[in-house]
Amino acid sequence: MGGHEQEEDAMPAQTPEQVNEQLIDALTRGDIDAAIELYEPDASFVNAGEVVTGQVGIRVIMEAFAAVKPKFDIKPKPTVQSGDIALTGNNWSLTGTDASGNAMEMSGNSFEVVRRGADGNWRFVIDNPDVG
């Protein structure tokens, strides 16, 4: 057996809803690699009104989220699915600690487009965590 077990902690998302659930879990654990695995290579992430494209740029954003040691409160919106594409969303809030050690809070109203890949796993194509 001795295969390459790089993703022993990463759990593939088997449903559109699991993509968000697993992202929250990865960020809460500080597991940036697991978070990035949930994004397609050319995915887009909207960060403060700017669109970041690709896993390298998204990694920087995920590192910033994980750095505050977030505790999330998520209220999922209904998923709309058409074949291998789905629209998901959440009303979310988080509490954490900023770089100066001060308590901080963030919240948003998110929408995401996720797609089922050839491997059967769902991943983010577009992640917009705060559509207002």
Average pLDDT, the chain: 90
Tell me whether residue 30 is in a domain.
Answer: yes
Count: domains in the chain: 1
Domain assignment of residue 55, given as a range = 16-128
Which tens digits make up the pLDDT trace of 89-104? 999 999 999 889 999 9
Residue 8, domain member (yes or no)? no
**Which structure tokens are listed for 118?**
């050839």
Would you state the pLDDT for residue 5?
Answer: 36
Give domain status of residue 91, yes or no: yes
The predicted-structure confidence for 61-99, as pLDDT tens digits, reads as follows 999 989 999 999 999 999 999 999 999 999 999 999 988
Which uninterrupted H or E stretch holds 81?
Answer: strand 80-82
Whether the model clears a pTM of 0.85, i.e. scores above it, the answer is yes
Residue 7 domain flag: no
CATH number at residue 118: 3.10.450.50
d(Cα 125, Cα 106) in Å, to the nearest integer?
Answer: 23
- The pair of structure tokens assigned to 87 is 């629209």
Q: Is 9 part of any domain?
A: no
5 domain residue, yes or no? no
